[in-house]
Protein backbone atom coordinates (compact mmCIF):
# COMPACT_ATOMS: atom_id res chain seq x y z
CA UNK A 1 0.00 0.00 0.00
CA UNK A 2 1.31 3.44 -0.87
CA UNK A 3 -0.16 6.78 0.12
CA UNK A 4 0.74 9.43 -2.41
CA UNK A 5 1.94 12.67 -0.88
CA UNK A 6 0.81 15.73 -2.84
CA UNK A 7 1.54 18.99 -1.14
CA UNK A 8 -1.09 21.66 -1.29
CA UNK A 9 1.28 23.93 -3.13
CA UNK A 10 2.70 21.48 -5.67
CA UNK A 11 -0.51 20.87 -7.64
CA UNK A 12 -1.65 24.42 -7.17
CA UNK A 13 1.53 25.96 -8.47
CA UNK A 14 1.62 23.98 -11.70
CA UNK A 15 -2.00 24.91 -12.42
CA UNK A 16 -1.37 28.52 -11.50
CA UNK A 17 1.42 28.82 -14.05
CA UNK A 18 -1.02 27.94 -16.79
CA UNK A 19 -3.50 30.64 -15.80
CA UNK A 20 -1.29 33.52 -14.69
CA UNK A 21 0.65 35.81 -17.02
CA UNK A 22 3.26 38.38 -16.01
CA UNK A 23 0.83 41.28 -16.08
CA UNK A 24 -1.54 39.44 -13.81
CA UNK A 25 1.37 38.56 -11.50
CA UNK A 26 2.17 42.24 -11.12
CA UNK A 27 -1.45 43.05 -10.39
CA UNK A 28 -1.69 40.33 -7.75
CA UNK A 29 1.49 41.42 -6.01
CA UNK A 30 0.46 45.07 -6.10
CA UNK A 31 -2.76 44.18 -4.28
CA UNK A 32 -0.76 42.97 -1.24
CA UNK A 33 -3.59 40.49 -0.71
CA UNK A 34 -1.93 37.16 0.08
CA UNK A 35 -5.23 35.32 0.48
CA UNK A 36 -6.30 36.30 -3.01
CA UNK A 37 -2.89 35.51 -4.47
CA UNK A 38 -2.87 32.08 -2.84
CA UNK A 39 -6.42 31.32 -3.95
CA UNK A 40 -5.50 32.17 -7.54
CA UNK A 41 -2.86 29.44 -7.28
CA UNK A 42 -5.34 26.93 -5.81
CA UNK A 43 -3.70 26.96 -2.40
CA UNK A 44 -6.29 25.94 0.17
CA UNK A 45 -6.16 28.02 3.33
CA UNK A 46 -7.97 25.25 5.20
CA UNK A 47 -4.84 23.08 4.84
CA UNK A 48 -3.12 25.29 7.42
CA UNK A 49 -3.77 26.37 10.98
CA UNK A 50 -4.26 30.07 11.60
CA UNK A 51 -0.67 30.36 12.86
CA UNK A 52 0.77 28.40 9.92
CA UNK A 53 -1.07 30.63 7.46
CA UNK A 54 0.34 33.69 9.22
CA UNK A 55 3.85 32.25 8.86
CA UNK A 56 3.18 31.46 5.20
CA UNK A 57 2.23 35.08 4.49
CA UNK A 58 5.18 36.52 6.39
CA UNK A 59 7.61 34.17 4.66
CA UNK A 60 6.25 35.02 1.22
CA UNK A 61 6.62 38.78 1.56
CA UNK A 62 10.04 38.38 3.23
CA UNK A 63 11.36 36.18 0.42
CA UNK A 64 9.84 38.46 -2.21
CA UNK A 65 11.83 41.34 -0.74
CA UNK A 66 15.01 39.26 -0.65
CA UNK A 67 15.01 38.25 -4.29
CA UNK A 68 12.61 40.01 -6.61
CA UNK A 69 11.08 43.29 -7.54
CA UNK A 70 7.40 42.72 -8.34
CA UNK A 71 7.77 44.30 -11.79
CA UNK A 72 10.43 41.74 -12.69
CA UNK A 73 8.64 38.57 -11.54
CA UNK A 74 7.00 36.21 -14.00
CA UNK A 75 4.50 33.44 -13.35
CA UNK A 76 6.97 30.54 -12.88
CA UNK A 77 9.01 32.64 -10.43
CA UNK A 78 5.88 33.44 -8.44
CA UNK A 79 4.98 29.76 -8.33
CA UNK A 80 8.47 28.86 -7.11
CA UNK A 81 8.39 31.62 -4.50
CA UNK A 82 5.09 30.35 -3.09
CA UNK A 83 6.52 26.86 -2.83
CA UNK A 84 9.64 28.17 -1.09
CA UNK A 85 7.60 30.26 1.38
CA UNK A 86 5.43 27.42 2.67
CA UNK A 87 6.18 26.53 6.32
CA UNK A 88 8.49 23.52 6.39
CA UNK A 89 6.42 21.87 9.12
CA UNK A 90 2.62 21.89 9.12
CA UNK A 91 0.12 19.69 10.90
CA UNK A 92 -1.45 18.51 7.66
CA UNK A 93 1.84 17.55 6.01
CA UNK A 94 2.96 15.76 9.17
CA UNK A 95 -0.35 13.88 9.25
CA UNK A 96 0.16 12.78 5.63
CA UNK A 97 3.71 11.64 6.45
CA UNK A 98 2.42 9.71 9.47
CA UNK A 99 -0.21 7.91 7.37
CA UNK A 100 2.52 6.79 4.96
CA UNK A 101 4.62 5.54 7.88
CA UNK A 102 1.63 3.61 9.23
CA UNK A 103 0.87 2.16 5.79
CA UNK A 104 4.47 0.96 5.41
CA UNK A 105 4.25 -0.66 8.84
CA UNK A 106 1.05 -2.47 7.83
CA UNK A 107 2.71 -3.76 4.65
CA UNK A 108 5.59 -5.15 6.69
CA UNK A 109 3.39 -6.59 9.46
CA UNK A 110 5.43 -4.52 11.87
CA UNK A 111 4.97 -1.44 14.01
CA UNK A 112 6.01 2.02 12.79
CA UNK A 113 9.79 2.32 12.73
CA UNK A 114 9.78 5.98 13.71
CA UNK A 115 7.67 8.67 15.31
CA UNK A 116 6.90 12.06 13.76
CA UNK A 117 5.75 15.31 15.33
CA UNK A 118 4.49 18.63 14.01
CA UNK A 119 5.77 20.21 17.23
CA UNK A 120 9.23 21.29 16.13
CA UNK A 121 10.28 24.43 18.04
CA UNK A 122 13.61 24.56 16.18
CA UNK A 123 11.76 25.08 12.87
CA UNK A 124 8.60 26.84 13.97
CA UNK A 125 7.54 29.16 11.16
CA UNK A 126 10.59 28.41 9.03
CA UNK A 127 9.96 28.32 5.31
CA UNK A 128 11.15 25.64 2.92
CA UNK A 129 13.78 28.10 1.64
CA UNK A 130 15.01 28.92 5.16
CA UNK A 131 15.47 25.22 5.87
CA UNK A 132 17.25 24.53 2.59
CA UNK A 133 19.86 27.15 3.48
CA UNK A 134 20.89 25.08 6.51
CA UNK A 135 21.73 22.10 4.30
CA UNK A 136 25.35 23.05 3.76
CA UNK A 137 27.07 19.83 2.75
CA UNK A 138 28.00 18.80 -0.78
CA UNK A 139 26.74 15.23 -1.17
CA UNK A 140 26.06 12.72 -3.93
CA UNK A 141 27.25 13.88 -7.34
CA UNK A 142 27.39 17.56 -6.37
CA UNK A 143 30.15 19.16 -8.47
CA UNK A 144 31.72 20.75 -5.38
CA UNK A 145 31.97 17.49 -3.43
CA UNK A 146 35.58 16.44 -2.76
CA UNK A 147 36.44 13.14 -1.08
CA UNK A 148 39.50 11.99 0.83
CA UNK A 149 41.43 8.79 0.07
CA UNK A 150 40.07 5.69 1.78
CA UNK A 151 41.69 4.57 5.03
CA UNK A 152 43.74 1.47 4.12
CA UNK A 153 45.01 -0.13 7.31
CA UNK A 154 41.58 -1.56 8.10
CA UNK A 155 41.99 -4.06 5.28
CA UNK A 156 45.09 -5.44 6.98
CA UNK A 157 43.34 -6.19 10.27
CA UNK A 158 42.28 -9.68 11.27
CA UNK A 159 38.62 -10.17 10.32
CA UNK A 160 37.89 -11.24 13.88
CA UNK A 161 38.44 -7.64 14.98
CA UNK A 162 35.24 -6.54 13.31
CA UNK A 163 33.34 -9.81 13.18
CA UNK A 164 33.27 -9.78 16.99
CA UNK A 165 32.09 -6.19 17.36
CA UNK A 166 29.03 -5.75 19.61
CA UNK A 167 25.65 -5.68 17.86
CA UNK A 168 24.91 -2.24 19.29
CA UNK A 169 27.35 0.44 20.38
CA UNK A 170 27.12 3.98 21.77
CA UNK A 171 30.38 5.90 22.12
CA UNK A 172 28.84 7.93 24.93
CA UNK A 173 28.64 4.77 27.04
CA UNK A 174 32.28 3.93 26.39
CA UNK A 175 33.94 7.34 26.69
CA UNK A 176 31.58 10.09 27.87
CA UNK A 177 32.76 9.91 31.48
CA UNK A 178 36.20 11.09 30.40
CA UNK A 179 35.03 12.91 27.22
CA UNK A 180 31.68 14.65 27.87
CA UNK A 181 31.98 16.48 24.55
CA UNK A 182 30.66 13.31 22.87
CA UNK A 183 27.16 13.87 24.24
CA UNK A 184 27.13 17.63 23.79
CA UNK A 185 24.52 18.84 21.27
CA UNK A 186 25.32 22.07 19.44
CA UNK A 187 23.39 24.47 17.18
CA UNK A 188 24.51 25.80 13.80
CA UNK A 189 21.93 28.64 13.90
CA UNK A 190 20.59 29.70 10.47
CA UNK A 191 23.96 29.08 8.81
CA UNK A 192 24.73 26.21 6.43
CA UNK A 193 27.79 25.32 8.50
CA UNK A 194 26.78 21.75 9.35
CA UNK A 195 29.88 20.52 7.49
CA UNK A 196 32.08 22.50 9.92
CA UNK A 197 30.16 21.38 12.99
CA UNK A 198 30.09 17.70 12.12
CA UNK A 199 33.80 17.56 11.29
CA UNK A 200 34.96 19.69 14.22
CA UNK A 201 32.78 17.81 16.71
CA UNK A 202 34.01 14.36 15.69
CA UNK A 203 37.61 15.66 15.65
CA UNK A 204 36.97 17.13 19.12
CA UNK A 205 35.81 13.78 20.51
CA UNK A 206 38.67 11.82 18.97
CA UNK A 207 41.15 14.38 20.27
CA UNK A 208 39.82 13.85 23.79
CA UNK A 209 39.78 10.05 23.45
CA UNK A 210 43.32 9.95 22.08
CA UNK A 211 44.49 12.05 25.04
CA UNK A 212 42.79 9.72 27.54
CA UNK A 213 40.35 12.41 28.67
CA UNK A 214 43.06 14.95 29.50
CA UNK A 215 41.49 17.43 27.07
CA UNK A 216 37.76 18.08 27.50
CA UNK A 217 37.27 21.56 26.05
CA UNK A 218 34.98 22.25 23.12
CA UNK A 219 36.82 23.07 19.91
CA UNK A 220 35.67 25.81 17.53
CA UNK A 221 33.37 25.03 14.58
CA UNK A 222 33.45 28.77 13.95
CA UNK A 223 37.18 28.60 13.26
CA UNK A 224 36.53 25.76 10.82
CA UNK A 225 33.59 27.49 9.10
CA UNK A 226 35.42 30.80 8.75
CA UNK A 227 38.97 29.72 7.89
CA UNK A 228 38.56 26.34 6.16
CA UNK A 229 37.55 28.34 3.11
CA UNK A 230 37.48 28.04 -0.68
CA UNK A 231 41.26 28.18 -0.93
CA UNK A 232 41.98 25.64 1.81
CA UNK A 233 38.94 23.34 1.78
CA UNK A 234 36.88 24.15 -1.30
CA UNK A 235 34.27 25.22 1.30
CA UNK A 236 32.24 28.38 1.72
CA UNK A 237 31.23 28.96 5.32
CA UNK A 238 27.46 29.37 5.68
CA UNK A 239 27.04 28.57 1.98
CA UNK A 240 28.24 24.98 2.32
CA UNK A 241 31.36 22.88 2.44
CA UNK A 242 33.16 19.54 2.37
CA UNK A 243 33.44 17.58 5.65
CA UNK A 244 36.31 15.50 4.24
CA UNK A 245 38.45 18.49 3.34
CA UNK A 246 37.54 20.02 6.69
CA UNK A 247 39.01 16.94 8.39
CA UNK A 248 42.17 17.37 6.33
CA UNK A 249 42.37 21.04 7.36
CA UNK A 250 41.76 20.19 11.03
CA UNK A 251 44.55 17.63 10.87
CA UNK A 252 47.11 19.86 9.15
CA UNK A 253 46.27 23.40 10.29
CA UNK A 254 44.61 22.75 13.61
CA UNK A 255 41.61 24.32 15.32
CA UNK A 256 41.40 26.51 18.40
CA UNK A 257 39.10 26.07 21.40
CA UNK A 258 35.63 27.55 21.12
CA UNK A 259 32.33 26.97 22.84
CA UNK A 260 28.77 27.78 21.83
CA UNK A 261 27.24 31.21 21.26
CA UNK A 262 26.56 31.51 25.00
CA UNK A 263 30.32 31.32 25.62
CA UNK A 264 31.08 34.61 23.91
CA UNK A 265 33.13 36.91 26.18
CA UNK A 266 34.11 34.03 28.48
CA UNK A 267 37.72 33.73 29.59
CA UNK A 268 38.10 29.96 29.18
CA UNK A 269 37.90 29.59 25.39
CA UNK A 270 39.31 31.27 22.30
CA UNK A 271 36.69 31.55 19.55
CA UNK A 272 33.07 30.58 20.35
CA UNK A 273 30.35 30.31 17.72
CA UNK A 274 29.31 33.81 16.68
CA UNK A 275 25.80 33.20 15.30
CA UNK A 276 22.79 33.01 17.65
CA UNK A 277 19.67 31.00 17.05
CA UNK A 278 17.00 33.44 15.85
CA UNK A 279 13.40 33.52 14.68
CA UNK A 280 12.34 34.03 11.06
CA UNK A 281 8.87 35.15 12.10
CA UNK A 282 7.57 38.04 14.19
CA UNK A 283 5.46 36.24 16.79
CA UNK A 284 8.16 34.28 18.58
CA UNK A 285 8.84 35.77 22.01
CA UNK A 286 11.59 33.29 22.90
CA UNK A 287 14.12 34.19 20.21
CA UNK A 288 15.40 37.43 18.68
CA UNK A 289 14.40 38.11 15.05
CA UNK A 290 16.82 37.04 12.35
CA UNK A 291 18.64 39.85 10.59
CA UNK A 292 18.52 38.43 7.08
CA UNK A 293 20.77 35.63 5.90
CA UNK A 294 23.64 34.56 8.13
CA UNK A 295 26.93 35.86 6.79
CA UNK A 296 30.03 33.83 7.57
CA UNK A 297 32.16 35.62 10.20
CA UNK A 298 35.59 36.54 8.88
CA UNK A 299 38.63 34.34 9.42
CA UNK A 300 40.91 35.62 12.16
CA UNK A 301 44.25 34.73 13.76
CA UNK A 302 43.57 36.13 17.22
CA UNK A 303 41.08 34.88 19.78
CA UNK A 304 37.64 36.49 19.73
CA UNK A 305 37.33 36.26 23.52
CA UNK A 306 39.79 38.90 24.71
CA UNK A 307 39.96 37.47 28.22
CA UNK A 308 41.39 34.16 26.96
CA UNK A 309 45.10 34.41 27.73
CA UNK A 310 46.57 31.65 25.55
CA UNK A 311 47.89 32.98 22.21
CA UNK A 312 45.98 31.77 19.15
CA UNK A 313 48.89 29.79 17.69
CA UNK A 314 49.48 28.00 20.97
CA UNK A 315 45.80 27.00 21.19
CA UNK A 316 45.74 25.10 17.89
CA UNK A 317 44.90 21.39 18.13
CA UNK A 318 45.99 19.15 15.26
CA UNK A 319 45.63 15.55 14.13
CA UNK A 320 47.84 13.08 12.29
CA UNK A 321 45.70 11.76 9.40
CA UNK A 322 42.30 12.02 7.71
CA UNK A 323 40.46 9.58 5.46
CA UNK A 324 37.20 8.25 4.02
CA UNK A 325 35.55 5.15 5.51
CA UNK A 326 33.80 3.04 2.91
CA UNK A 327 32.08 -0.05 4.33
CA UNK A 328 29.63 -0.60 7.18
CA UNK A 329 32.08 -2.96 8.90
CA UNK A 330 34.81 -0.36 8.61
CA UNK A 331 32.54 2.38 10.00
CA UNK A 332 31.55 0.19 12.96
CA UNK A 333 35.19 -0.70 13.61
CA UNK A 334 36.17 2.98 13.56
CA UNK A 335 33.35 3.95 15.92
CA UNK A 336 34.14 1.21 18.40
CA UNK A 337 37.91 1.66 18.28
CA UNK A 338 38.54 5.38 17.77
CA UNK A 339 35.28 7.23 18.41
CA UNK A 340 32.72 9.30 16.47
CA UNK A 341 32.94 9.90 12.72
CA UNK A 342 31.45 12.49 10.36
CA UNK A 343 28.75 11.65 7.80
CA UNK A 344 27.00 13.46 4.96
CA UNK A 345 23.54 12.53 3.68
CA UNK A 346 20.56 13.89 1.75
CA UNK A 347 17.74 15.40 3.82
CA UNK A 348 14.07 15.16 2.79
CA UNK A 349 11.16 17.17 4.17
CA UNK A 350 9.74 14.39 6.32
CA UNK A 351 13.04 14.15 8.23
CA UNK A 352 12.40 17.59 9.75
CA UNK A 353 9.42 16.11 11.63
CA UNK A 354 11.52 13.31 13.22
CA UNK A 355 10.91 12.67 16.91
CA UNK A 356 12.21 9.17 17.68
CA UNK A 357 12.83 5.70 16.24
CA UNK A 358 14.75 4.69 13.12
CA UNK A 359 14.29 7.01 10.15
CA UNK A 360 13.97 4.75 7.06
CA UNK A 361 14.40 7.40 4.36
CA UNK A 362 11.61 9.42 2.70
CA UNK A 363 8.15 7.98 3.25
CA UNK A 364 7.48 7.93 -0.50
CA UNK A 365 8.68 9.30 -3.82
CA UNK A 366 6.71 12.54 -3.51
CA UNK A 367 8.65 13.87 -0.52
CA UNK A 368 10.74 16.88 -1.49
CA UNK A 369 14.53 16.90 -1.18
CA UNK A 370 16.02 19.75 0.84
CA UNK A 371 19.75 19.25 0.35
CA UNK A 372 22.90 17.76 1.86
CA UNK A 373 23.57 17.78 5.59
CA UNK A 374 26.52 16.69 7.75
CA UNK A 375 26.26 15.11 11.20
CA UNK A 376 28.31 13.30 13.84
CA UNK A 377 27.84 9.52 14.06
CA UNK A 378 28.25 8.34 17.66
CA UNK A 379 27.11 4.72 17.48
CA UNK A 380 25.23 1.99 15.69
CA UNK A 381 22.62 -0.77 16.05
CA UNK A 382 21.85 -3.89 14.02
CA UNK A 383 20.60 -1.85 11.06
CA UNK A 384 20.97 1.82 11.99
CA UNK A 385 23.41 4.60 12.80
CA UNK A 386 23.04 6.64 16.01
CA UNK A 387 23.72 10.29 15.24
CA UNK A 388 24.13 13.63 17.01
CA UNK A 389 22.68 16.51 15.00
CA UNK A 390 23.52 20.23 15.22
CA UNK A 391 19.96 21.56 15.59
CA UNK A 392 19.97 21.80 19.44
CA UNK A 393 18.28 19.50 21.95
CA UNK A 394 14.72 20.63 21.16
CA UNK A 395 14.83 18.75 17.85
CA UNK A 396 14.54 14.98 17.45
CA UNK A 397 15.35 12.71 20.37
CA UNK A 398 17.05 15.34 22.53
CA UNK A 399 19.17 16.38 19.57
CA UNK A 400 19.92 12.85 18.32
CA UNK A 401 18.37 10.53 15.76
CA UNK A 402 18.71 7.04 14.33
CA UNK A 403 18.77 6.42 10.58
CA UNK A 404 18.62 3.14 8.71
CA UNK A 405 21.97 2.11 7.27
CA UNK A 406 22.32 2.74 3.56
CA UNK A 407 19.47 5.24 3.07
CA UNK A 408 19.84 8.82 1.82
CA UNK A 409 23.48 8.17 0.90
CA UNK A 410 24.46 8.01 4.58
CA UNK A 411 27.00 5.19 4.09
CA UNK A 412 28.72 6.82 1.11
CA UNK A 413 30.27 9.87 2.76
CA UNK A 414 31.80 8.90 6.10
CA UNK A 415 35.06 10.59 7.08
CA UNK A 416 37.30 10.68 10.13
CA UNK A 417 40.95 10.78 11.10
CA UNK A 418 43.52 9.86 13.69
CA UNK A 419 44.97 12.00 16.43
CA UNK A 420 48.31 10.68 17.63
CA UNK A 421 49.51 13.10 20.31
CA UNK A 422 53.17 14.09 20.05
CA UNK A 423 53.08 15.83 23.39
CA UNK A 424 50.80 16.11 26.38
CA UNK A 425 47.97 18.58 25.71
CA UNK A 426 47.90 21.75 27.74
CA UNK A 427 45.25 21.37 30.46
CA UNK A 428 43.51 24.59 31.37
CA UNK A 429 42.94 25.46 35.01
CA UNK A 430 39.61 27.02 34.07
CA UNK A 431 36.40 25.01 34.15
CA UNK A 432 35.55 23.19 30.91
CA UNK A 433 32.68 24.48 28.79
CA UNK A 434 30.87 21.49 27.39
CA UNK A 435 27.74 21.72 29.55
Query: Is 373 an active-site residue?
Result: yes
Query: Is 324 an active-site residue?
Result: no
CA-to-CA dists, residue 48 to 135, 152, 284, angstroms: 25, 53, 18
Catalytic residue (choose from 41, 211, 317, 373): 373
Catalytic residue (choose from 59, 305, 389, 392): 389
Catalytic residue (choose from 194, 227, 238, 303): 194
Query: Is 389 an active-site residue?
Result: yes
| Residue 120 burial class via C-beta count within 10 angstroms: exposed 0-12, middle 13-18, buried 19 and up | buried
Query: Quick one: three-class SS letters along the chain?
Result: CCCCCCCHHHHHHHHHHHHCCHHHHHHHHHHCCHHHHHHHCCCCHHHCCHHHHHHHHHHHHHHHHHHCCHHHCCHHHHHHHHHHHCECCCHHHHHHHHHHHHHHHHHCCCCCCEEECCCCHHHCCCEHHHHHCCCCECCCCCCCCCCCCECCHHHHCCCHHHHCCCCCEEHHHHHCCCCHHHHCCCECCCCCCHHHHHHHHHHHHHHHHHCCCCCCCCECHHHHHHHCCHHHHCCCHHHCECHHHHHHHHHHCCECECCCHHHCCCCCCCCCCCCCCCECCCCCCCCCECCCCCCCCCCCCCCCCCCCCCCHHHHCECCCEEEEECCHHHHHHHHHHHCCEEEEEEEEHHHHHEEEEEECCCCCCCCCEEEEEEEEEEEECCCEEEEECCECCCCCECCEEEEECCHHHCCCCEEEEECCCCCCCCCCCCCCCCC
Which amino acids are annotated catalytic? 194, 373, 389
Amino acid sequence: MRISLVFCCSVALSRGIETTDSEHVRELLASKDFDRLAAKHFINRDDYTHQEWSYFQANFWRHLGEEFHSKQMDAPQLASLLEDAEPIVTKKKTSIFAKSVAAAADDNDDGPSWELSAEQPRFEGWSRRDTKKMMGTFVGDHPKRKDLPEEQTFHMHDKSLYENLPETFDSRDKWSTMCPTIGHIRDQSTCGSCWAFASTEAFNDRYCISHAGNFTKLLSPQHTASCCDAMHCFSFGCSGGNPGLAWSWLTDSGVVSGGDYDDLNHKDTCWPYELPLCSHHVNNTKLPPCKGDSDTPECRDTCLNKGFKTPFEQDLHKGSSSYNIKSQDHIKFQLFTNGPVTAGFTVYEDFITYKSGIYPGPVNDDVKELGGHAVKVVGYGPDYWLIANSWNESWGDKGLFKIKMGVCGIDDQMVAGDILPQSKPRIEEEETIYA
